[in-house]
Structure 1
Amino acid sequence: MKILIIHQNFPGQYKHLAPALAARGHQVVALTPKVDKPQTWKGVRLVPYRITGSSTKGIHPWLQDFETKVLRGQSCYDAALVLRERGFTPDVILAHHGWGESLFLKDVWPGARMGLYCELYHLTTEEFTRFDPEFDRKGTERDGLRIRLKNLNNRLHEEVMDAGISPTRFQASTFPETWQDRITVAHDGVDTDLVRPDPQARLDLDTGQVLTRDDEVITFINRNLEPYRGYHVFMRALPEILRRRPNAQIVLIGGDEVSYGAKAPDGKSWKQIFIDEVRAEISDADWARVHFLGRVPYERFLAMMQISRVHVYLTYPFVLSWSLLEAMSAECAILASDTAPVREALTEDETGRMVDFFDRAGLVDRLCELLDDGDARARLGRAAREHVRKTYDLTRVCLPRHVEWVESLPDLTPRPPRD
């Protein structure tokens, strides 16, 4: 079978799937702007394409997002035409359509079956648009209009999507009913053989300090430190955590940019805004126990998980972070926000504990309870790892499901583009 994969940051979610398909004898080609010349990666032929054009100055802000997707879609279309001229006709197209790259590929190959990675559909309900009223913007009464336009890319893809795959039930549930019978729920998977507890793990800090399992380490991770992942809630709880836990070391991983939601005001970073907000409440001696690592290599992230005594995970109702499942796989005791995506992965007092996203006092209390109860931490950590190995294990559960899904796509009747 000939398979074409599209992802603006390849391999992205296809890191394991693409090589697995190649290893099974399929011809796998990936179109990506991340390489300058054709090359082979783990049996996958990488073909570069260049994004041409630029955003229009002064365009209506609601259209800016869609215009960037059209530019990517057109650029990918042009590259696909070249592939077709060279004799490549895929049986299956796999795409994370969130950046618009796959918008016009059915116009090139109407007979191909398109399988989309369905990460999220943007909803206009208050749970999504006003979950955290602190960050309401002016003109929020127009949010529904803006968000419906943001879904133009989703809606156009729905017309040509033959099948979809979504990592969680929560994420799949955000898509309209017209998508539901075509979406399979299967997580990307966690390498539980790699992400596992290690009593000998150590984390070397830039200060020269070394943290191990013998230390009381509280961990917190965002791709970028921002409100969508509860960074502001954690930081506002920090002065009281440090006061009540005089031996605790707080380790945070995350960048200074924005992955989700609005940018911070006045050209600042959300990271610095909330540091500035709480810093006066924290003594210099206590602040020395707070360690911002920024973005780190995976090995350092893994060491952080393996020495964590309690891992705090907070999120809006949104895409579930891989870091939660990886922390569970490392046998961390988890304290997480009681929000829909978390409830799918975590069961209260079985595989972790939960607290209301906005309950700062409750967060501190439940955190201290866990830190004081070694038996509970051990029980929760073991159960968390067992659950991840049973439900989210990469090689035994998730990757075989993804491969089976891809290999079933040729049996579908392809949906051609519509006028």
Structure 2
Amino acid sequence: MRYLFIHQNFPGQFRHAVRALADDPANEIVCVGETRNLKGRPQLHPRLRVLGYQMPAEARSRAHPYLRDYEAHVRRGQQVVRLLLQLRDANGFQPDVVVAHPGWGEALFLRDVFPHARHIQYFEFYYHGEGADVGFDPEFPATLDDQLRVRTKNSTQLQSVVQADAGLSPTAWQKSRYPIELQRKITVVHDGIDTAVVCPDPQAWVEINGQRLEAGQEIVTYVARNLEPYRGFHIFMRMLPKLQALRPNARVVIVGGDDVSYGRRLPEGQNYRQVYRKEVEGQVDWSKVFFVGKLPYGEYLKVLQISAAHVYLTYPFVLSWSALEAMSAGCLIVGSRTPPVEEVVEDGVSGVLVDFFDADALAARVAQVLADPAAYCPLRARARQVVQERYDLQAICLPRTLEIIRPRA
């Protein structure tokens, strides 16, 4: 079989499926990504052919502001078409199956290039003017203009979902965000967690700034791709003074970069870490708080394995891989009572949930966990069991994904 995978940040969510299909010598697999994102990335599999496309220069558009993202998506889609036409006409490649993420426009014109292929798309998040991330946080209020803009923002996905034969969505809540008349095309299948790799390790330790931190100590962890309000970073920082008052020996490890993955950017030269650190300056003993930036995967896992309490906060938005990885590693999740978290964490059973905005309640619950770790061992065990039963890569998620992707008889 011939497969074509397209993702601007390849491999993205397709890593495991691509590897599994490439293991079969009967399959021919071509993968496409944006050139700048592919640069320097290690080879995923020796049998893959990986091609890059260049993004065109940004247009000096006079288009309505609501349409500027869509225009950029159309331009990206055109670049992908040019590359695929060369692949088709010069090399004779005709895929049986095309798998793509539609979020950036790469999937807009795939049906026009390969009309007879089976088209599968990864539907990650459908935007709403209310009831999800937009307008959730009163500290960053949404305007009517924001609501109208995000409605238009869905134009790319709507074009793509109409063309798709089938779709994948990682959680039930994320699927539920899509128009009900389109949900029939979408199957809930998470990308999967390798629970054999992401597992508890009572001997784990890390060294940070000359200090040895190890499992069994009072260590609070927080992980996000970037430190920003969408992942509750502002609430987490405001928790620190009270947490240190309650548990003065606790040490806090914060993993994440200073860019913005979601939401509003600050003025040039500023980042949210600076802003919220300044807000609590003079109230926090920074010698016990470690900002470690982005870590290699193995080091990141060790941080999870030494955690006594792992804080995971999020707007009603895409569920982070790190939340499920933390559960698989046996972390005690202290999470926000928001729909993405409630889907995977049951309060008092597989973790502890608090109101997203209540920094004092968050500090109190984290302190309780640190004060009596033995009492929360059953919750840790249940959290890992949930991931094994519902999100295990090899036993559940990868087989289901491949069943959807492979051509039907």
Shift of 1:42: 3.9
Residue type of the alignment partner of 2:178:
F
Shift of 1:179: 1.4
**Would the aligned equivalents of 1:103 and 1:156 in 2 still touch at CA under 8 Å?**
yes
1:31 matched to which residue of 2?
A: 32
Shift of 1:144: 2.3
**SS of 2:280 mapped into structure 1:** helix
Cα distance in 2 for partners of 1:114, 1:72 equals 18
Q: Please give the root-mean-square deviation of Cα atoms over the aligned residues, in Å.
A: 1.7
Residue type of the alignment partner of 1:5:
F
Shift of 1:384: 0.7
Cα distance in 1 for partners of 2:8, 2:47 equals 19
Q: Which runs of 4+ in 1 moved over 6 A?
A: none
1:226 matched to which residue of 2?
A: 228
- Report whether the alignment pairs 1:261 with 2:260: no
User: Which of these residues, 137, 141, 147, is aligned with residue 136 of structure 1?
Assistant: 141
- Report whether the alignment pairs 1:61 with 2:62: no
**SS of 2:181 mapped into structure 1:** helix
Cα distance in 2 for partners of 1:61, 1:320 equals 29
Shift of 1:410: 4.1
Aligned residues: 403
**SS of 1:15 mapped into structure 2:** helix
- Report whether the alignment pairs 1:162 with 2:150: no
Cα distance in 1 for partners of 2:349, 2:28 equals 44
**SS of 2:397 mapped into structure 1:** helix
Shift of 1:305: 0.4
TM-score scaled to structure 2, two decimals?
Answer: 0.95
**SS of 2:293 mapped into structure 1:** coil
User: Which of these residues, 43, 48, 60, is aligned with residue 44 of structure 1?
Assistant: 48
**Would the aligned equivalents of 2:124 and 2:174 in 1 still touch at CA under 8 Å?**
yes
2:21 matched to which residue of 1?
A: 21
Task: Tell me: CA distance 1:266–1:8, structure 2 relative to 1, closer, same or farther (3 Å).
Answer: closer
User: Which stretches in structure 1 are left out of the alignment for 5+ residues?
Assistant: 412-419
**SS of 1:232 mapped into structure 2:** helix
2:349 matched to which residue of 1?
A: 350
1:294 matched to which residue of 2?
A: 293
2:197 matched to which residue of 1?
A: 194
Cα distance in 2 for partners of 1:176, 1:30 equals 30
1:11 matched to which residue of 2?
A: 11
Task: Tell me: CA distance 1:42–1:17, structure 2 relative to 1, closer, same or farther (3 Å).
Answer: farther
Shift of 1:27: 1.5
**Would the aligned equivalents of 1:29 and 1:47 in 2 still touch at CA under 8 Å?**
yes
- Report whether the alignment pairs 1:208 with 2:210: yes
Cα distance in 1 for partners of 2:119, 2:66 equals 28
- Report whether the alignment pairs 1:71 with 2:75: yes
Cα distance in 2 for partners of 1:386, 1:375 equals 18
Map Cα deviations across residues 57-98 of structure 1 (whole Å, 9 max, x no partner). 565432221122111100000011011102111111100111
User: Which stretches in structure 2 are left out of the alignment for 5+ residues?
Assistant: none
Q: Which shows bigger deviation, 44-53 or 160-169?
A: 44-53
Shift of 1:267: 4.1
Shift of 1:128: 3.2
Structure with more relative contact order (C-alpha pairs < 8 Å, separation 6 or more): 1
Q: Give the % identical residues.
A: 46
Residue type of the alignment partner of 1:15:
R
